[in-house]
Amino acid sequence: MHHQTNKGSPHVDQSGKASMVDVSSKEDSKRTAVASCRVLLGRQAFDLVASNRIAKGDVLTVARIAGIHGAKQTSNLIPLCHNIGLTHVDVVLTLNEKDCSVEIQGEAATVGKTGVEMEAMTAVAVAGLTVYDMCKAATKDIRIMDVRLEGKTGGKSGGWMRKLSTMSDDDDGA
């Protein structure tokens, strides 16, 4: 198998091998990231979660704790991520009756030399997987959707915020 070398990528060394970026020369700065995802449950599982009748227990609380734990494990899961000291992690899960989903938002922060985008995205992905795990006895037709970065602050490149979509599920064409 041929691997194309990308000389401009900081994750590829001079021989074309993947490597962890050396951040030792970077300045420490406060860095934050917010990520999100949605878990489409379907009516039956949604109603069970909403009424806290899932056999395994309180889905939203367990998934929140799992997401926080997931953020702290990011460098163990993603091979080229740095092991960084997180100063803050939060995961918020909100039930959306309109589409029978759980909306998940995760936030991570640090003061350091590298960003926390992967920690925020890992938090929401692990929380979403936990929702699936806890609800799978009720239905297997669950979809974890749209794991994505919503915004970041800090570092040399500064801030970034996702642009609002011109089309959304709520768009009525008006």
133 is catalytic: yes
Residues 18, 16: Cα–Cα separation, whole Å: 7
**Rounded distance between C-alpha atoms, residue 70 and residue 132, angstroms:** 15
φ, ψ (nearest 5 deg) of residue 154: 90, 175
Pairing verdict, β 101-112 and 160-161: unpaired
Q: Which helix (H) or strand (E) holds 125?
A: helix 117-135
**Could you say which of 133, 141, 169, 170 is catalytic?**
133
Neighbours of 147 (CB within 10 A): 16
Radius of gyration of the chain (CA): 19
Residue with tokens 């700065």: 29
Which residues are part of the catalytic machinery?
133
